């Protein structure tokens, strides 16, 4: 007889206690990016270590050149084994004056009739999300005395500063961390009532370039009309990166880009994401993405090219009539499917060099390159999780792509050879990284129940 009803009932009755536990963790200001909070960041790691130990995990703090990694093991021989990832560090709280309450004194409040939230830095990103999983483990153990599958927990303290030490840690401890697949709870729902599984993450190529012409800034009255102007050259190159249909014009750019399945397209179309809904919240009305593509495709399943910064010449107050000697830009590419980051970087550099006139030179700085990550939409683990989420929320759990990147998923693929299942319960209005961060109680409570269902499903 299934113990799931008893587990879910315990999660319901234990909600206040679970909120108290989360609050005690949120009260620790684990601002990992600020050295002034190093002791508090370690204290947050130790808080989680102790909580995992209370659940029967063999847990420890593992040192890195930065903040420690919390690692906990509870094996189950003969059963599937999963690796759960999260992070305990949080973003700085500045500007403090914009917070309605103390960011490290969490409180529960009603923000509209029938909608309660818990406030505080880290409430959603990522302590609240981590605790949905931990509370599901707690209730399962309380009701059954065991877990349906083996679990390793890996929670780092440097995600908000780029996870500088995590790739080396994962690689060095690959044998210990290997599992059948990984679980990450640092993503979101489609909306407040519709759960989602993030089945793909776009990769990234980030390049900085500087075009130089004359050996110094020039008087535009004396040299204008004759001397090469690097700002003009750079502007022309930037303008040439897209054609009139919104497609990127770099040769070979779309190699490795595959089409979504008919089923995926049908599911996405049914979500009815509109320009008014998505762009209206930021004061815009019209998408400039690839023509002939649904808006949801443009932001999650298609590759992109964006100029993130451009500068050169005189930008101070008043006027200074110069032709700049240099002009620079930062350009990022979001990758999908099997696009090769190194090939994209090389193709971009060739694209720029081919458009340089005589007397112009260019230098590049690479700021990182990572491939896209995708989980097959028909994988058994994904289908089991999708069914469990659908049962809990009463709505079909959609499989979506993320326009952003979660590099650790790539590390798990490269170093551990395993796919990652991304299930999260964040909402677009959780104010992550902003003042007044919050986490809906429905996300926290039903997130616990969702994980309880998923654990049982994955263990069968």
430: in domain: yes
Range of the domain at 391: 4-201+372-458
288: in domain: no
126: in domain: yes
Q: Is the peptide bond before 95 cis (omega within 30 degrees of 0)?
A: yes
Of the candidates 370, 397, 423, which is a domain's last residue? 370
**What angle in degrees, to the nearest 10, is found between the helix axes of 38-54 and 127-144?**
20
Residues 331 and 248 in one domain: yes
DSSP 224: T
Residues 146 and 92 in one domain: yes
Q: How far apart are CA 406 and CA 403, in angstroms?
A: 10
CATH of the domain at 36: 3.40.630.10
* Each residue's pLDDT tens digit, 309-321: 999 999 999 999 9
CA-based nearest residue to 405, from 201, 124, 190: 201
Look at 54-58, 148-152, 177-181, 397-401 and tell me which has the smallest mean pLDDT: 397-401
Count of beta carbons in the 10 Å neighbourhood of residue 122: 31
Query: What is the pLDDT confidence band of residue 162, given thresholds at 50, 70 and 90?
Result: confident
Residues 317 and 422 in one domain: no
How many angstroms separate the first and last alpha carbons of the chain? 13
Q: Are 84 and 451 in contact (CB under 8 A)?
A: no
Higher pLDDT, 360 or 201: 360
296: in domain: no
Of the candidates 340, 370, 400, which is a domain's last residue? 370
Residues 81 and 134 in one domain: yes
Residues 210 and 177 in one domain: no
Residues 124 and 221 in one domain: no
Q: Are 207 and 330 in contact (CB under 8 A)?
A: yes
* Each residue's pLDDT tens digit, 333-356: 999 999 999 999 999 999 999 999
385: in domain: yes
Look at 105-114, 197-206, 244-253 and tell me which has the smallest mean pLDDT: 197-206
Residues 104 and 188 in one domain: yes
For the segment 255-275, the average pLDDT, to the nearest whole number, is: 92
For the segment 7-31, the average pLDDT, to the nearest whole number, is: 98
266: in domain: no
268: in domain: no
Residues 133 and 156 in one domain: yes
Structural domain total, the chain = 2
Of the candidates 347, 370, 393, which is a domain's last residue? 370
Query: What is the pLDDT confidence band of residue 1, given thresholds at 50, 70 and 90?
Result: low
130: in domain: yes
Average pLDDT, the chain: 96
pLDDT recorded at residue 120: 98
Residues 433 and 334 in one domain: no
Beta strands in 294-343 (DSSP E): 304-312, 322-323, 326-335
Strands 398-402 and 196-201: parallel
Q: Are 218 and 455 in contact (CB under 8 A)?
A: no
CATH of the domain at 248: 3.30.70.360
Q: How far apart are CA 229 and CA 103, in angstroms?
A: 49
Q: How far apart are CA 46 and CA 84, in angstroms?
A: 18
Residues 389 and 363 in one domain: no
Residues 178 and 209 in one domain: no
Residues 310 and 445 in one domain: no
């Amino acid at each position: 007889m299934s113990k799931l009803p008893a587990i879910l009932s315990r999660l319901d009755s234990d909600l206040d206690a679970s909120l108290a536990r989360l609050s005690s963790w949120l009260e620790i200001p684990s601002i990992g990016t600020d050295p002034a909070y190093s002791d508090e960041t370690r204290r947050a790691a130790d808080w989680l270590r102790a909580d995992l130990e209370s659940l029967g995990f063999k847990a420890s703090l593992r040192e890195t050149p930065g903040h420690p990694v919390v690692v906990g093991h509870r094996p189950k021989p003969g059963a599937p084994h999963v690796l759960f990832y999260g992070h305990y560090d949080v973003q700085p709280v500045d500007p403090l004056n914009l917070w309605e309450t103390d960011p490290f004194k969490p409180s529960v409040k009603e923000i509209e009739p029938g909608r309660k939230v818990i406030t505080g830095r880290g409430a959603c990103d990522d302590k609240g999300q981590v605790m949905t999983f931990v509370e599901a483990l707690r209730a399962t153990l309380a009701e059954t005395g065991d877990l349906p599958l083996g679990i390793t927990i890996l929670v780092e303290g440097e995600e908000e500063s780029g996870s500088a030490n995590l790739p080396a840690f994962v690689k060095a401890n690959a044998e210990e961390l290997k599992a059948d697949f990984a679980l990450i709870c640092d993503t979101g729902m489609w909306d407040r009532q519709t759960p989602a599984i993030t089945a793909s993450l776009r990769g990234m190529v980030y390049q900085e370039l500087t075009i130089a012409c004359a050996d110094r800034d020039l008087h535009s009255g004396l040299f204008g009309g004759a001397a090469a102007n690097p700002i003009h050259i750079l502007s022309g190159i930037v303008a040439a990166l897209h054609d009139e249909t919104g497609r990127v014009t770099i040769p070979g750019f779309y190699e490795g880009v595959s089409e979504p399945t008919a089923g995926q397209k049908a599911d996405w179309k049914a979500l009815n994401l509109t320009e008014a809904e998505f762009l209206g919240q930021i004061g815009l009305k019209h998408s400039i993405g690839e023509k002939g593509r649904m808006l949801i495709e443009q932001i999650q399943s298609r590759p992109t090219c964006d100029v993130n910064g451009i500068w050169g010449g005189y930008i101070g107050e008043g006027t200074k009539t110069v032709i700049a000697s240099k002009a620079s830009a930062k350009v990022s590419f979001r990758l999908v499917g099997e696009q090769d980051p190194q090939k994209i970087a090389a193709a971009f550099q060739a694209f720029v060099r081919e458009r340089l006139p005589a007397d112009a030179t260019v230098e590049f700085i690479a700021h990182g390159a990572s491939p896209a990550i995708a989980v097959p939409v028909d994988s058994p683990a994904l289908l089991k999780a999708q069914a469990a989420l659908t049962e809990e929320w009463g709505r079909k759990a959609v499989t979506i792509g993320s326009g952003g990147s979660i590099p650790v998923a790539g590390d798990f693929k490269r170093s551990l050879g395993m796919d990652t299942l991304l299930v999260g319960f964040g909402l677009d209005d959780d104010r992550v990284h902003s003042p007044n961060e919050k986490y809906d109680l429905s996300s926290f409570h039903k997130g616990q129940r969702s994980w309880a269902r998923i654990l049982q499903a994955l263990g069968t």
